[in-house]
Structure 1
Amino acid sequence: MAGKLPVSVTVILPTRNEEEALAPTVDSIPRDWCDELEIMIVDGNSTDRTREIALEKGIRVHLEPRKGYGRAYRSGFVAAKGDIIVTMDADCTYPAEVVPELVKKLLDEDLDFITCDRLTLAEEGSMSGLHGFGNWMLSINARLAFGYGIKDSQSGMWIFRKSIFENEKMRPTNDGMPLSEEMKILARKVLGKKKAIEVSVPYRPRVGEAEIHTWGDGWKNLRF
């Protein structure tokens, strides 16, 4: 990509006890491709060295003591300084190297929201059989329930303009895992399919222990 993109970007990483994976995740995020790049963890009461590692890496630490995946992101959205927000997990699963080209796509095609499909290009070992089946079923449920032609309703990698929250209808309300699905449904309903699209990206085996509880989180998403 020739030249820097004339935009400010915040990459939000929700964390809870990610000391093993945080450093390589942060290191994988490209630098010097946009006017301003902010990398921020939203930490939910980590008891390991997660926050210490973040500070050593020179990235911003935003504390969110209230529990919940959705709560972490909602807090992070408000705190983010960038005009463009990128979300991804702090466990080396998402391909940070594609962030610049996805932000460029958002700008070049005048989009407002991109969600990333993990299922199509998932690498071997990136999901257990149960996890993969659950994601597939939840995505089918989302398509049937909301008429939303989406491949991966549970993806946690999104690229969007912070300005979408100026519309109250685009502000998510869920504090738990269903926020992921809520964001995509709101984007399609409020922004429209020409402004909110899905792009397939690789998905890799996680580093460290997962904080997701497959059955409990899956049930919450179905109820949503």
Structure 2
Amino acid sequence: MTIWKMGKILSDNDRYEAHRIAAIVPCYNEEQTVAKVVRDLKAAVPSMEVYVYDNNSSDETVRVAREAGAIVRSESRKGKGNVIRRAFADIDADIYVTIDGDDTYEAADLPRMIGTLLSGPYDHVLGVRKDSSETGSYRPGHEMGNRMFNRLVSFLFHSQVSDMLSGYRVFSRRFVKSFPAISKEFEIETELTVHMMALRLPQVEEKVGFRDRPAGSESKLNTYSDGLKILNVIFQLVRNERPNLFHGVVTILACALSLILGLPVVFEFFETGLVPRLPTAILSAALMGMAVLVSSVGVLLSGVRRARREAARLAYLRLDPPAHVPAEDTMFYRIGQSS
């Protein structure tokens, strides 16, 4: 017998049969965990198709995933960003789910996340990790870096995010098909978050269970190198999405340095009529000229960015939103089974 909250029985098929749902599971050497991830996803949403994208694994990931019932595809270019880019282009669905193949996320939370997406309707539901391990599932460097990136991106793009590096997300079709997917590796989560912020898409966060990798399973993340890659992506996105801010900072720094170097030369000229430090005067003038040029570039790129955002918004609006499900229906979901 299946137990349901609020005493109302609604099967997964009844709730989602009108929607094509696809789960995308990027994998690199995850033979130890991928079968459980696939089975848990299918148990959570039976009507969902699970796609495992193998990213040049050297173990038995492909065989194990196929035996577990997944649709297995391959992406030869290494990196999670390349996998997501390929999957978003290849798969045609109404609702998309991304989840890592390392069995650290709780698949049982997925019906609630899909229900939330449909009840909005929203274009993006972010799974905010809630540590369910007594010993702590986060490595200290990852937890500190995640908090820092959350605050930095929230400040730069004026939109709050609690867990921008989470790999557990649910998307609408119009989000996926309007997302350019430029990143190659783990920085793809940053790009997904900033895309949502830049276009001001309707989104919501949901707490999800997060646990340790099983014994013998190794993380593919490198705290420092991947952190630097994420910082570089944030830098590039600020340059492209906030050109006035980026070029304004450079303009102010160049102006300040020009004045610091040039004012003493000007004062000395008025006092003596001489310019004994000619190289300093030339450098100061060049810095001020550069400041004017950078400021002008910022204004031009701001216009280009506006045109890009309008084009992206129009591409987004060409697609239908997720079919709305009344909020009261999303309250009823399976919480356990007994026989």
- Calculate the TM-score normalised by the size of structure 1: 0.90
Cα offset, 1:171, TM superposition:
2.1
For structure 1, list consecutive stretches of 5 or more residues without a partner in the other structure.
none
Higher helix share: 2
Cα offset, 1:18, TM superposition:
0.2
For structure 2, list consecutive stretches of 5 or more residues without a partner in the other structure.
1-8, 234-339
Cα offset, 1:67, TM superposition:
1.2
1:205 aligns with 2:212: yes
What is the percentage of aligned positions where both structures have the same residue? 28
Residues 58-73 of structure 1 mapped to structure 2, 5 A cutoff: 58-73=69-84
CA distance in 1, matches of 2:45, 2:147: 34
Residue of structure 2 in register with 1:2 after alignment: 10
Given that 1:69 and 1:177 are in contact with CA atoms closer than 8 Å, whether structure 2 keeps it comes out as yes
1:25 pairs with one of 28, 31, 37:
37
2:203 pairs with one of 177, 180, 196:
196
CA distance in 2, matches of 1:26, 1:197: 25
Q: Which runs of 4+ in 1 moved over 6 A?
A: none
Give the 3 Å change call, closer, same or farther, for CA 102–173 of structure 1 in structure 2: same
CA distance in 2, matches of 1:156, 1:127: 14
Given that 2:95 and 2:170 are in contact with CA atoms closer than 8 Å, whether structure 1 keeps it comes out as yes
What SS class does the counterpart of residue 216 from structure 1 fall into?
A: helix
Residues matched between the structures, number: 217
1:92 aligns with 2:99: no
What SS class does the counterpart of residue 20 from structure 2 fall into?
A: strand
1:76 pairs with one of 77, 87, 93:
87
Cα offset, 1:23, TM superposition:
1.3
Give the 3 Å change call, closer, same or farther, for CA 143–95 of structure 1 in structure 2: same
Q: CA RMSD in A?
A: 1.7
CA distance in 2, matches of 1:179, 1:32: 26
CA distance in 2, matches of 1:145, 1:44: 33
CA distance in 1, matches of 2:51, 2:42: 14
CA distance in 1, matches of 2:192, 2:45: 27
Higher strand share: 1
What SS class does the counterpart of residue 96 from structure 2 fall into?
A: strand
Per-residue CA distance 1:50-75 (angstroms, 9 max, x = gap): 00101111211110000111111111
Cα offset, 1:33, TM superposition:
4.2
Structure 2 counterpart of 1:209, one-letter code: E
1:12 aligns with 2:19: no
